[in-house]
Structures are given as structure tokens and as C-alpha cells.
Amino acid sequence: MENNTTWEKTFILLKPDAVQRALIGAIIARFERAGLTLTALRLQNVSRAMAEKHYEAHRGKSFYEPLLKLLRSGPVVIMAVEGAHAISVVRKLVGATEPLNAAPGTIRGDFCHIGYERSRERLGVIPNLIHASDSPESAAAELALWFGKEEIAAPYQRVDAEFM
């Protein structure tokens, strides 16, 4: 909505473990309560080709194939949100990548408690509910990968915007 250095757009992906546990509404509500504006939302299955594009940076790593398998194990929810400092706000709300170390009050800290060691014993990859872009560059690339420009709603004014 705004045009300045503090207003950002970012990408969020709720992984199949979040969808299968019926946490979609609870997770989206946290972003909305933090003052972020939802501008795109879709439930979809992920093709192998799309999973490979999304996780291209991890190709060749030991957890790459299990990561692809996890992302394709059920439907995902993809979202575009925007707001003041959106990228860092989303990352703060999501919590540490390893849920065992995520602070209480974060999405991973409240809904997922598995650690890397346990996940290697069971799955080879950690089911940690959610992916969120970590920089303006990754947000732009991930938004472009998952959404066409016409799929992202035009910015709109929230009635509580003056408080955000």
C-alpha cells in the first residue's frame, strides 16, 4: 500500500503438516493480528517440478529428497502478505527453524516441538509447519515463482492501519 523502505511484501507457505493438522486459520490469524495484510491465498498440491524450483538452494544436500517428499505429501497453502517490516515480522512470528528451539508464542514454538535429531530418526527432514521468505530478494523470487502478478490483490486499506 505504501511506497517506502519499511513497507514490504513477502511469501509464506504452510506446509502439508500444518494443513493436515488443521492449523491454517490459527496461523493466518497470527499474521493478521500482527497487522499484516493478506493479498493472495491459495490451497494447492505441489508438483515435483515446483518443489524442486522452490528448494533449488538445497539441491545436492542429504535432506533434499526428503524435503521434496515432505512438501509433496499433501496440499499446501501459499500466501502473499504485506505490511511494515513484513519480512522480519513474519520471521519473528514463525520462530526458529528447529521447532524444539522455537520460543513459546511463535508458530513453531506453540504448534511443533520436534528437534533435528528426532526428525532424522523418523523422516530425514524436519516437519516444521511453515516456510517464510528471509529477505526482500527471496520474497520477490518466491512470490514470482508461486503467484502470477494478476493473482495478488491490489493493496487495500485496513481499518486498523493507523495503529500498525
125 class by beta-carbon count within 10 Å (0-12 exposed, 13-18 middle, 19+ buried): buried
Between the alpha carbon of residue 81 and those of residues 52, 57, 100, the distances in Å are 23, 23, 26
The residues annotated with a catalytic role in the active site are: 131
**What is the C-alpha to C-alpha distance for residues 64 and 59, in angstroms, rounded to an integer?**
6
- Concatenating the DSSP letter of every residue in 40-62 gives EEEEE---HHHHHHHTGGGTTST
